[in-house]
A and B are shown apart, each in its own frame.
Chain A
Amino acid sequence: MLLETRALTANYGQFRALFGVEITLDKGETVAVIGANGAGKSTLLRSISGVLRNARDMVQHRGDGIGAMPAHQVMQRGIAMVPEGRKLFPSLSVEENLLIGGQVRKTHGPWSLTTIYDLFPILREKRNAPGTALSGGQQQMVAIGRALMSNPEVLLCDEISLGLAPVVIRDIYAAMPRIKAEGTAIIVVEQDIGRALSVSDRVYCMMEGRVTLQAKAAEVSRTAIHAAYFGAAA
């Protein structure tokens, strides 16, 4: 098992946001985590990435407990995050935003400035612009590229379609197969169920801080998702 949470319990401010969440991620696998607003999806990713720190054994990476590790150490183990809201550095140009993603964890791998500009050609054109001068979709491309620059083993994507036009979302999701093809394991947190299922091998549905459904993405029925998503009796 590459990555796993065990009885993960976490708080969002004063509120308990996760109640014993258990998910697993295998090498090269893509897993979707879906759920309504406030289901605890983002708290789950923040717990894995180390932004929220928990008990050590609640998050396992390659057999080591990393639940209590600070974010910069988690990242150096090869777990990179595309944070919700993109969070580009406004003082950095597009290219500098990309460079800083690969600055600390220097590994040999498929991703470099060149390959990321090939993945999102518009960024090559805008590479000297400040990150914040770009459109929302372009900023999301920078945020994804920035995370890839460290050649991560695990990529955590938090709501990458949030606030973007459907045509832009399609462009961004078009990059997913190429990222998967390099062997990167991905966790996609989404509210857009169809989009999430289309790129995933397995899916977890969360409601009110608990996992209410796990299934193979290809086999899961709309009714089952509906029940797990809203808690409606099937």
Chain B
Amino acid sequence: MNWLDIIVQGVLLGGLYALFATGLSLVFGIMRLVNLAHGDLIVFAAFGILLAVSTLGLNPFLAALLAAPVMFALGWALQRYVLNRVLGKDILPPLLVTFGLSVALQNGLLQAFSADTRRIPAGALEGGSLNLGVVTVGWMPLLTFASAVLVILALNRIFYATALGRAFRATSDDPVTASLMGLDPKGVFAMATGIAMVVVTVAALYLGMRANFDPSIGPARLIYAFEAVIIGGLGSLWGTLAGGIIIGVAQTLGAAINPEWQILAGHLAFLLVLLIRPRGLFPRAVD
């Protein structure tokens, strides 16, 4: 058993989980909204990419590039016309609405695409690997991890170096005072969900290329995403990446000991972190 290999594969797998989780983390960080339909939105975007690949004959990356603005618009509208209406002091209404959305999305996808498992064809990338001497890593996991890091770098850049990011942080701090600055909190939230849906599209691309998917798998992706967000500390994007890596490494370690333990090991790692650091590894100071 090559421990180094297991750790490296685990870290790379963590990149995928971080991609699942980043959109969730972003939306929660800005508006304290827990989107229970997040996993289903990833699956929805994966079907969208698949549709573009199969009907237009596009390369999956090109298809994702096409899907991203569509998903942005859908996320913007979802926030503007649905979720903004239920945001408030009570956290229950948005939970119920997004839960309902999750059920509706699953059934809608089932109706449109049937329960068959699908996969986005990725051509030569699928089996290719890179030999680094000590370990061999697949191109796909490597690309997934690099994308996760790039997405988080880009989001941090938006957050800390642009006027939009300043508006995000201010509105997250205090929506009433933000409105005294001329910012419309509802518009700011809609932008945030739109951007989260672009991240969802990236997550969907790798979800669909790496493994089989069908309309029912959203909630399971949501669990990993949740765990990554909580481990990292609510609202911290690098924390979310760390959370994804911890789950990924725990899963590959568990699987190396006994394949039946893969999923369980990830959840146990999550519980362990909660036990030691209830607020996650990198909690935000203000909350």
Contacts and interface: CB of A to CB of B under 8 A. Distances in A.
B176 A90 contact: no
B179 A89 contact: no
B166 A81 contact: no
B173 A91 contact: yes
Contacts of B167: 100, 103
Contacts of B177: 83, 87, 89
Nearest to A90: B286
- Give the interface centre of A71, A83, A96 by most chain B CB atoms within 10 Å: A71
A89 B174 contact: yes
Contacts of B180: 49, 51, 71-72, 75, 80-81, 83, 87
Contacts of A89: 169-170, 173-174, 177-178
Q: How large is the interface on B (under 10, 10 to 19, 20 to 34, 35 or more residues)?
A: 10 to 19
Interface string A43-61: 0000001110000000000
A115 interface: no
B64 to A, nearest CB: 31
A92 interface: yes
Interface stretch (B73-81, B100-108, B181-189, B202-210): B181-189
A103 B168 CA distance: 13
B181 A75 contact: yes
Q: Choose among B163, B170, B179, B182 the residue with the greatest number of A CB atoms under 10 Å from its CB.
A: B182
B59 interface: no
A96 B172 CA distance: 14
B274 to A, nearest CB: 25
A135 to B, nearest CB: 19
A209 interface: no
Contacts of A71: 176, 179-180
Nearest to A99: B166
Contacts of B185: 72
B172 A146 contact: no
A220 interface: no
Interface of B: 163, 166-167, 169-170, 172-174, 176-185, 286
A-B pairs with lowest CB-CB distance, top 8: A104-B182, A71-B179, A75-B182, A91-B169, A87-B177, A89-B173, A89-B170, A72-B184
Given A87-B177, A92-B169, 12 more contacts: A51-B179, A72-B183, A75-B180, A89-B170, A89-B178, A91-B286, A92-B166, A92-B173, A96-B169, A101-B181, A103-B163, A146-B181
Interface of A: 49-51, 70-72, 75-76, 80-81, 83, 87, 89-92, 96, 99-101, 103-105, 146, 150
17 contacts: A70-B179, A70-B184, A72-B180, A72-B181, A75-B179, A75-B180, A83-B177, A87-B174, A89-B169, A89-B173, A89-B174, A92-B166, A92-B173, A99-B163, A99-B166, A100-B178, A103-B166
